[in-house]
Structure 1
């Protein structure tokens, strides 16, 4: 019996990877339905990735793309105030901060160069010992005029933060956290090795974003949560929401005459040397940005519906959908606020600049740079809202058609021996009652042992409720 029970538990654990210890395998009709729905989508995603990937495109970079600046690492050794230009060393000259940097690599490693930095509120503050990055644009490698202070070195703090993040995920998630980290790494691989090269090669950014989001979604969800009916339902809900976000994004970016052109995009177009769909680039960012939040909503809704079904197998489609929708409404308000705050935080400097412009609120909200952030936020939020009923309906339909295994009956407890019956008439023989003719101490002077509330003394064996002793001939008060 123990071996059979252990085998059943092992089977249940194996099928429930990622969704609880006692998740049951999907029934055959559910598996067939999911296969019919998902297989064409998986094939379309793979074919789209093969068609859009720039196999024969050689993208010029660095100096080939017109970027002649070479990064050089160094350390600040001195900071003094002085003038700008040729009169920097003149007594009393002001207007710049002269930063001396000892270069660690580049064309003159070990040499010191002095670089003037404008003494303005917008300029960063440098101190002795700062690890910095210089930008070398050619010319005499020993002259300070050939360099510019470009940035600070941040390798160590960024690495330390990454280590803390990995440690926190593994400490809390353990093997599930390890799978999540692997999925995160694969997401970056898709972005760096597929999405970015395809867009730089001139492919439609919206199509690339849709295919890339599909690849990320399949990899992340199945690797993190396991291959099961629950995960497949979350995948379907995410796909439907992404399609809705794409359609609404195309529609309202066209109605709003959004071009997607800002300073960064204009610089990108000039570097590429060929045209790029800047509006499609805007929509691609919207889809990829909403993908992570969509995964959260769809997985939560699917798991909620499946757990409701497991807790009460009598629940049908209507009951599961109603209960799952109530859970989704509570979750939705916080998720939408998260997306809005994420976009607002990204555009905070832009909002501050517009606030100082003296323009009214309507003009600020309909300006190109603000309007495109609003379209991103609202389109993504509509997709999140739609994900709740769509995913809940799919999960309720599939979960109601799964076979829920019967719980194993718990073994009945063995009856405890009746100590009182076994004792018979001698149950009062061990009752420690002082003789009636012995002098009694006051209650406040008696030393009490054992439990003060019940009078139980562990040294006297199992506790039995004391009864009144049976009167015997010769006792005081009897004839």
Structure 2
């Protein structure tokens, strides 16, 4: 007989292998065509090193700190791709949008625009930011693991799993024409179950948090859909819609539902946080006093949730301000009239996104408080049953 720890390890291994195989075969059927060299033009982005600045006619913009105006002649060596090792002298224009100031010894990204195997154009695309981003990610993971210990490591595993689900399941499902709402709910259920089970193991607390999170996200989707319907807001009013419509013609993607799918995914983190916090609080209160009634446990969860509502409202408001700061400054600078402002697509979308998430958080509080106050006391009943059964078994063996 396998002990419980070994059994859990075996089940986790089987689940991981099965899910990995599913993702492999699911993505194997997703074909995206790329143009290949052979007379047909295509663009690739490769790493290059600036060997020297051949000439320069530029000056620093005093009005805008950090920007240069003019152009440079740079000698670069391509470091990756089919033209690796080649040397080129390219013109680097410096403007508001393109402002990559080249220096000798610096790594940059160049755009290789190919017309055919013999003819291609090399131009400056951007700074090579990948080393900085990799270091930043490693520092984040090190802090998470170092400070969080075993829990931090489990958080890393949950974060990696969520990332894999989004890249290899959620986005391919949307691209293939699956319902955005169905895809979102599926991802929410999968990531919530795996993340919370990884962090806390199987328990009634975890089950309560999973159920509360799932219901909360469904509420967010329902609220956003109802508000969007009456406000006449759809995914066709977003910035990237024209390009997405072109893609959708070939792949059947449901562009109209992408906005609300995004709302579901965006609200998942906050709802999961609230659900887990309340479930943990109810469990701690119950452990401290097993004599509390279910209604008393419910009120304990409500009281914790009320404290979280206030901070969450501020968090959502500040998040909205941060993500829309450039647009808000433009609106302010043009002194946009109120009737124009309140009926803007951008503002309507942001309000519905923010309030849908907030509404879901608020309504998740009583839901998770009720579920956890009913499920968590069952642990004691289950333990009592196991103890009683063990005693009977031992007594029978003694006789």
Match of 1:179 among 145, 154, 166: 154
- In the alignment, is residue 163 of structure 1 matched against residue 138 of structure 2? yes
C-alpha offsets along residues 292-350 of structure 1, whole Å, 9 cap, x if unaligned?
A: 11111001000101111111222112222222211111122212322332333222223
**Which residue of structure 2 aligns with residue 74 of structure 1?**
48
Distance, in Å, in 1 between the alignment partners of 2:336 and 2:75 is 43
**Which residue of structure 2 aligns with residue 220 of structure 1?**
195
Distance, in Å, in 2 between the alignment partners of 1:273 and 1:132 is 36
RMSD (Å) for aligned C-alpha atoms: 3.1
When the two structures are superposed, what TM-score results if normalisation uses the length of structure 2?
A: 0.78
C-alpha offsets along residues 364-397 of structure 1, whole Å, 9 cap, x if unaligned?
A: 3431123212211110110011111110111122
**1:157 deviation in Å?**
1.4
- In the alignment, is residue 276 of structure 1 matched against residue 253 of structure 2? yes
Tell me if structure 1 keeps the 8 A contact 2:42–2:115.
Answer: no
**Which residue of structure 2 aligns with residue 375 of structure 1?**
352
Q: Which moved more, 1:107-116 or 1:197-206?
A: 107-116
**Which residue of structure 1 aligns with residue 278 of structure 2?**
301
Tell me if structure 2 keeps the 8 A contact 1:249–1:379.
Answer: yes
Count of paired positions: 348
Tell me if structure 2 keeps the 8 A contact 1:186–1:216.
Answer: yes
Q: Which moved more, 1:165-174 or 1:295-304?
A: 165-174
What is the 5 A alignment of 1:336-415? 336-403=313-380
C-alpha offsets along residues 68-121 of structure 1, whole Å, 9 cap, x if unaligned?
A: 2111210223444349xxxxxxxxxx9534444321133433333333344323
What is the 5 A alignment of 1:75-114? 75-79=49-53, 80-82=55-57, 95-114=70-89
**Which residue of structure 2 aligns with residue 26 of structure 1?**
none
- In the alignment, is residue 62 of structure 1 matched against residue 31 of structure 2? no
- 3-state SS of the aligned residue for 1:203? coil
**1:271 deviation in Å?**
4.1
Distance, in Å, in 2 between the alignment partners of 1:326 and 1:219 is 28
Unaligned runs of 5+ in 2: 9-17, 59-68, 385-399
**1:264 deviation in Å?**
2.7
Distance, in Å, in 1 between the alignment partners of 2:243 and 2:132 is 29
Unaligned runs of 5+ in 1: 1-13, 18-45, 84-93, 407-479
- 3-state SS of the aligned residue for 2:167? helix
- 3-state SS of the aligned residue for 1:59? coil
Tell me if structure 2 keeps the 8 A contact 1:59–1:200.
Answer: no
- In the alignment, is residue 288 of structure 1 matched against residue 288 of structure 2? no
Bigger strand share: 2
Distance, in Å, in 1 between the alignment partners of 2:244 and 2:82 is 28
